[in-house]
Amino acid sequence: MNVGRWLGYGLGGGLVVAGIAGLVVNARQTDPLGWALWFGGLIAAHDGVLVPLVLLAGVAVGRLRKPSPVRAALTVAAVLSLVALPMVAGIGRRADNPSILPLDYGRNLLVVLGLIALVTALTMLALRLRGSRRRG
CA of residue 84 relative to chain centroid, distance: 10
Rounded-to-integer distance, Cα 43 and Cα 20, Å: 17
| pTM (predicted TM-score) | 0.56
Q: What is the pLDDT of residues 3-38, one digit of tens each?
A: 999 999 999 999 999 999 999 999 999 889 988 998
Give the single-character DSSP code of 10: H
Model pLDDT, residue 104: 95
75 pLDDT more than 90? no
Q: What is the pLDDT of residues 87-118, one digit of tens each?
A: 999 988 888 998 999 999 999 999 999 999 99
Taking the CA atoms of residue 102, residue 106, residue 110 and residue 115 in that order, the dihedral angle to the nearest 10 degrees is: 30
Give the long-range contacts of residues 68-77, CB within 8 A, separation 24 or more: 69/120, 69/123, 69/124, 69/127, 70/120, 70/124, 72/120, 73/116, 73/117, 73/119, 73/120, 76/116, 77/113, 77/116, 77/117
Helices 69-89 and 51-62 pack at an angle, to 10 degrees, of 160
Least confident of 2-6, 57-61, 75-79: 57-61
Q: In one letter, which amino acid is 91?
A: I
Confidence of residue 130 (pLDDT cuts 50, 70, 90): confident
Rounded-to-integer distance, Cα 66 and Cα 61, Å: 9
Bridge partner residues of 97 (DSSP): 94
Return the ∠ at Cα 104 (arms to 100 and 108), rounded to 5°. 125
Model pLDDT, residue 136: 63
